[in-house]
Structure 1
Amino acid sequence: MIVVTAAGGRTGLAVVRALRERGEDVRAVVSRRGPRPELTELGAEVVRAELTQPLPWSEVLAGADAMYLIWPNFDPDEAEGAPALFREARRAELPRLVYHSVLRPQLRAMPHHAAKDVAEEALDASGLPSWRVLQPCAYADNLDDELPEVVARGELRSLWGVRTAQSLVDVRDVAQAAVALLTEDGLDGGTFEAAGPEPLTAPRIAELISARVGREIVAEDVVPGGEVPTAYAARCRRTMFDHYRVHGFTGSPRVLTDLLGRPPRSYAEHLADLDLPVEVLPDDEPA
């Protein structure tokens, strides 16, 4: 039995699906009551538990072989909450824990990176018998919801500028890497980067979308205005895009390639799997 937290989110659902495809039993942890057909249809056992309330975790972890700990995005409780759960996992004698971190958590300019850096330090000192860390870059999937509008208006609006690049990774590849860390031996105490195969500027992403849908897409630089917000989640988003604008956010795909046993999906391959409106030129028009 493998426990997956934040199982109703993008990452959690992908990890649950990948584990179930391997035939693993999964206990999917969610924070809100109510039906979760996306999880129950995969055959997962769905349980409700709050990440910041450790009291019921002995029951959640009972009989588990491993846990994949995902903390919700831009949550201010991660720096304290994740180490508390490491302690609960040790008390429950959990055989293995994999922590979902981020590429370059040491970037203190971004609060949500700094929180994961603190959590990684606590994990190293946790006394857990087997732990591993996965550090993904930004997801290719993060752009998916806005793609129909991008195609409709012919414009990709980039909050991170048009000069610096990102190494976008497909969340399915992140999930497959998580499965390897959860189930394979010989990886204890390791931190593993999960970066996409190529550096992509916003204009390059626009070119790839153009090739996929058959119409011109241009990248537009959208510069955030005003002061950096004080609310935690908004501040995380703003400082993240400000950092990307100046420095980019790229990494090497070599570690992920080794975990997957193949190269990670390119952004073009990611786009090929999406249901996007494609323009087809009439036969009497030149290509």
Structure 2
Amino acid sequence: MIVVTAAGGQTGTAVVAALRARGLPVRAVVGHRGPRPELAALGAEVVTAELTQPVAWSGVLAGADALYLIWPNFDPDEAEGAAALFAEARRAGVGRVVYHSVLRPQARGMPHHAAKDRAEQALDTAGLAWRVLQPCAYAQNLDEEVRRAADTGVLRSFWGVRTAQSLVALSDVAEAAAVLLTEAGLDGGTFEVAGPEPLTAPRVADLLGEALGREVVADDVVPAGEVPVSYRARCRRLMLDHYRAHGFAGSPRVATALLGRPPRTYAEHLADLLGPA
């Protein structure tokens, strides 16, 4: 049995799907009660548990061979909460923990990266067999803007037009997670998963234009005002400021090794997103 947290989100659902495609039993943990048809359709056992209430986790983790810990994005409780759940996993005798981190968690100018960096440190000292997955930004993150640009001919970029991101397909992240959860010889490893090409916003616009058969241009949307105070809004603003200044690109070689093939290109993602021309 493999336990996947935050299973109702896009990452969790994708990881559950990748594991079920391998015929593996999955306990999908969601934070709130209610119908979960997407998880039920995959054949997962759906349970409800709050990540910040570790006392209840002895039952959730009972009989688990592995835990895939995803923490909701931009949540201020991640560092301390993850450490508490690592302790619960040790007490429950979980054989392997894989933590869903982020590319370059040491970039502490972004608070949610700093939280993941501290969680990785806690995992290293938790007395568990562990692995860490560090994905780049998802190709899916731009889908809303891409659909809008398909109508307007203008791709709005909130991270500038000079720096690049190695956008990675969520399906590749999920498949890499399945490898780390199931294959031997990877304990104690930290694995970056990045897309195959560093993409600036103008490059994304060009690829979208090629897919549509008409011109698309990138527009730099510069943020206005001071950095917000609320944790979630502050994290998002500082992340985009970091991307604007430094980009968020990585090497695809680790992903290629994990997947046994090159990661999907952004052009392939656009073809799936837009459908037949």
The structure with the larger Rg is 1
2:160 match: 161
Across the two proteins, how many residue pairs are aligned to each other? 277
Instruction: Give, as a single letter, the amino acid of the residue that structure 1 aligns with 2:37.
Output: P
CA distance in 1, matches of 2:144, 2:88: 36
1:18-57 pair list within 5 angstroms: 18-57=18-57
Mapped pair 1:95 → 2:95: yes
Aligned residues: CA RMSD: 0.9
Offset at 1:212? 1.0
Offset at 1:277? 7.7
TM-score after normalising by structure 2: 0.98
- Aligned 8 A contact 2:145 2:156 in 1: no
Please list the CA deviations of residues 17-40 of structure 1 after superposition, one character each: whole Å capped at 9, or x if unmatched: 000000000000000110000000
What secondary structure does 1:88 align onto? helix
144-153 vs 174-183, which moves further = 144-153
1:146-157 pair list within 5 angstroms: 146-157=145-156
Please list the CA deviations of residues 71-94 of structure 1 after superposition, one character each: whole Å capped at 9, or x if unmatched: 000000001100000000001010
What secondary structure does 2:55 align onto? coil
Offset at 1:208? 0.5
Instruction: Give, as a single letter, the amino acid of the residue that structure 1 aligns with 2:238.
Output: T
What secondary structure does 1:270 align onto? helix
CA distance in 2, matches of 1:179, 1:231: 34
Instruction: Give, as a single letter, the amino acid of the residue that structure 2 aligns with 1:7.
Output: A
TM-score after normalising by structure 1: 0.95
CA distance in 2, matches of 1:154, 1:169: 24
1:267-278 pair list within 5 angstroms: 267-276=266-275, 278=277
What secondary structure does 1:220 align onto? strand
CA distance in 2, matches of 1:208, 1:22: 33
Q: Which runs of 5+ in 1 are unaligned?
A: 279-287
**4+ residue runs over 3 A deviation:** 275-278
2:82 match: 82
168-177 vs 208-217, which moves further = 208-217
- Aligned 8 A contact 2:166 2:196 in 1: yes
- Aligned 8 A contact 1:213 1:277 in 2: no
Please list the CA deviations of residues 67-123 of structure 1 after superposition, one character each: whole Å capped at 9, or x if unmatched: 100000000000110000000000101000000000000001000000000000000
1:257-276 pair list within 5 angstroms: 257-276=256-275
Q: Which runs of 5+ in 2 are unaligned?
A: none
What secondary structure does 1:168 align onto? coil
CA distance in 2, matches of 1:144, 1:152: 13
2:216 match: 217
1:179-258 pair list within 5 angstroms: 179-258=178-257
CA distance in 2, matches of 1:164, 1:91: 45
Larger helix share, 1 or 2:
2
Offset at 1:147? 2.3
Offset at 1:148? 2.0
136-145 vs 96-105, which moves further = 136-145
| Identity between Structure 1 and Structure 2 (%) | 75
